[in-house]
Amino acid sequence: MRASLSFLSVAAGLAASVSAQSYTSIPDIQVYGQHFFYTNNGSQFYLKGVAYQQDYSPNGTADTNIKYKDPLADSDGCKRDIPYMKQIFTNVIRVYAIDPTANHDACMEALASADIYVIADMAEPSNSIVSDNPEWDVSLYQRYTSVVDALSKYKNVIGFFAGNENVSADNQTSAAAFVKAAVRDIKGYIHSQNYRNTLGVGYATADVPTRDDLAAYFACEPGNSGNTTQIDFWGYNVYSWCGNSSYSASSYGERVQFFSDYPVPVFFAEYGCNQNIDGGPFQRPFTEVEVLYGNMTDVFSGGIVYEWFESENSFGLVNISDNSVVPNPDFTSLRNQLSTIDPTITQSSDYHPSTDAPACPTTGASWEAVASPLPPSPNNQLCQCMAASLECNVKSDDEKLYADTFDYVCGANSDFCEGIAHNATTGSFGAYGACNPKEQLAWVVNQYYVGNNKASTNCDFSGVATVQSAATSSGCAELLSAAGTAGTGIVASPTGKGTAGATAASSSKSKGAAAPGVSTPAFFEYGSVMFVGYVAVAMMSMVGMIAL
């Protein structure tokens, strides 16, 4: 039977134990070697966390119809839930999607006062990197950087996930390149904006057959990249310990062995299997806690239980009834297990890491993504400069009309489309592959127009395009020169604020097959056999990811 507790009595009972921290004064957490440490005293930090987002399932789909509630903007909900979180010793929450236009001060202050930190995913349901149609484009760059901008001032933010379970099948490994590019660019953005250097960027993976190659890929440092493309931490969504399992039966031991010399911290970004549990899913015994915070601590930095709110998936630790918190039985089980742990605390001054970056996986039958080059950094200024500089441009905003034109032009001459290539298997990337669909099509039709003697009949495409007067605005010449006449050159990463035009929670934009054409040209969904054949032999990678 569930125990119903009085919010007021719990809050009063915990008030004396909650430290008077503010989100401006709480010590931030830094990554050093394989561990996390408090910056104020150098003590090791273990994550004792819970996934905290109501009615949200990061299940690998992208849909404009899915709305979400930003948990960090709900100050009343935060204040209601925090006293109960402290009963299960919570010191970190994971949130899957926030509205960067909302105010988060009240919730972040309440969390800081309770010594609770945050790790935030940067995507949202209608704007994410899609598994079977991967892109790292200007829309996503704006979304990701807007989340960083919104949360960077809070010292109780540990960092961000650039992706979640992007590679969930063997035929999606080339998609990892787009997430690694996102890691590179968000790390670079944090540096360029002079945000604090303790903000980390990581990746969370499912327990998939390619997990070892994935781990190596995200931690490797190809060429002379230093750690610019390396994740800062590795999150593992693991559900192999069900009920009263064991260290060997759950394969926890294998994971400890594999990550024993991994160069960055590793933790469970989700855990808490609810299958085959005596008494039902809300009776999870959480016997894995003793092991996770016991003999695994040389390698693992704790974990985040899935999840706080009860929903249809039956993972909730609590139920919210009439705005009151009603704990489920597994809430008590988790509390009891966590109350007994006593992990060894290492001081950063006594810790001398010696792990090196692993080798990048070799491309072959089981791994498709090249480690270098990665997809180019999305540059909205470049895309706008390009569109303005063309003699033939796209006038229609109806992306459903674009497919036939993409098919025709790229099928007629593949050279016309090299500037929008994004093939992570061969490492072929055009400078304009991260632009929006209208800009990508503009580049393609202009290449066709110029390549066919600039005849006015070659800039129409059934009313989709039209001739215009080319213009090169201030600051454009250098960017366009770097991209080159074929659109295959390398352009410098943007250095300004990334939030111009960023999408918020109410955005109607969507990405991927569920809603064609927002991040990828509509030909991916509507293109003809001719263009599909061209894609297969020339440039486009048709495997991908979802980052939610």
Query: What does the pLDDT read at residue 65?
Result: 63
Phi, psi (degrees; rounded to nearest 5) at 237: -90, 100
Task: Please report whether residue 361 resides in a domain.
Answer: no
- Give domain status of residue 338, yes or no: yes
Determine, yes or no, domain membership for 366.
no
> Closest Cα to residue 152, out of 188, 199, 185, 184?
199
Same domain as 430, residue 334: no
pLDDT by 10s per residue, the chain, length 548: 444 443 333 343 443 334 468 999 999 999 999 999 999 999 999 999 999 999 876 544 455 566 789 999 999 999 999 999 999 999 999 999 999 999 999 999 999 999 999 999 999 988 887 777 888 999 999 999 999 999 999 999 999 999 999 888 888 888 899 999 999 999 999 999 999 999 999 999 998 888 999 999 999 998 777 789 999 999 999 999 999 999 999 999 999 999 999 999 999 999 999 999 999 999 999 999 999 999 999 999 999 999 999 998 999 999 999 999 999 999 999 999 999 999 999 999 999 998 899 999 999 888 999 999 999 999 999 999 999 999 999 999 998 889 999 999 999 999 999 999 999 999 999 999 999 999 999 999 999 999 999 998 999 999 999 999 999 888 899 999 999 999 999 998 888 887 654 333 333 333 322 222 222 333 333 233 323 333 333 333 333 333 33
- Answer whether residue 490 is part of any domain: no
Residue at 236 is within a domain: yes
* pLDDT over 70, % of the chain: 85
CATH number, residue 231: 3.20.20.80
Residue 186 CA to residue 120 CA, distance in Å, equals: 13
On the question of a cis peptide bond just before residue 373, with omega within 30 degrees of 0, the verdict is: yes
Give the domain CATH number at 470: 1.20.58.1040
The answer to whether residues 340 and 419 belong to one domain is no
- Distance in angstroms (rounded) separating the CA atoms of residues 285 and 241: 10
Q: How far apart are CA 160 and CA 52, in angstroms?
A: 15
Where is the domain boundary, 459, 483, 507? 483
- Residues 402 and 345 occupy one common structural domain: no
Catalytic residues: 165, 270
330, 350, 370 — which closes off a domain? 350
User: Quick check: is 22 in a domain?
Assistant: no
Find the domain containing 94 and state its range.
29-350
pLDDT at residue 531, as a whole number: 36
Quote the number of domains for the chain: 2
Q: Are residues 430 and 326 in the same domain?
A: no
Alpha helices, H only, 34-153: 75-87, 105-113, 138-151
For residue 227, tell me if it sits in a domain: yes
Same domain (yes/no): 310, 412 = no
Instruction: List all residues 6 or more positions away from 157 whose beta carbon is below 8 Å from its beta carbon.
Output: 108, 117, 118, 119, 120, 151, 199
User: Do 389 and 340 lie in a common domain?
Assistant: no
What span, in angstroms and rounded, lies between the C-alpha atoms of 50 and 422? 37
Q: How many residues does the chain have?
A: 548
In this structure, are 308 and 410 located in the same domain? Answer: no
- Rounded to 5 degrees, what are φ and ψ at 15? -55, -40
Q: Are 57 and 15 in contact (CB under 8 A)?
A: no
The structure tokens listed for 93 are: 């929450």
Cα–Cα dist 430/259, whole Å: 36
144 within a domain of the structure (yes/no): yes
Cβ 58 vs Cβ 164: under 8 Å: yes
Same domain membership, residue 392 and residue 346: no
Cβ neighbours of residue 509 closer than 8 Å, sequence gap 6 or more:
64, 126, 127, 139, 503, 518
State the pLDDT at residue 67. 78
pLDDT of residue 57: 62
On whether both 342 and 403 belong to a single domain, the answer is no
Q: How far apart are the first and last CA of the chain?
A: 34
Answer yes or no: are the C-beta atoms of 209 and 173 closer than 8 Å: no
313 shares its domain with 443: no
Distances (CA, A) of 235 to 95, 131, 256, 272: 13, 18, 14, 14
Query: Same domain, yes or no, for 60 and 186?
Result: yes
The CA-based dihedral angle spanning residues 146, 548, 427, 502, taken in that order and rounded to the nearest 10 degrees:
-20
Domain co-membership, 105 together with 174: yes
* C-alpha to C-alpha distances, 228 to 219, 232, 548, nearest whole angstrom: 10, 10, 22
Tokens representing 217 are 């890929």
Which pTM was predicted? 0.88
Give the domain-ending residue among 456, 483, 510. Answer: 483
Q: What are phi and psi of 81, to 5 degrees?
A: -90, -30
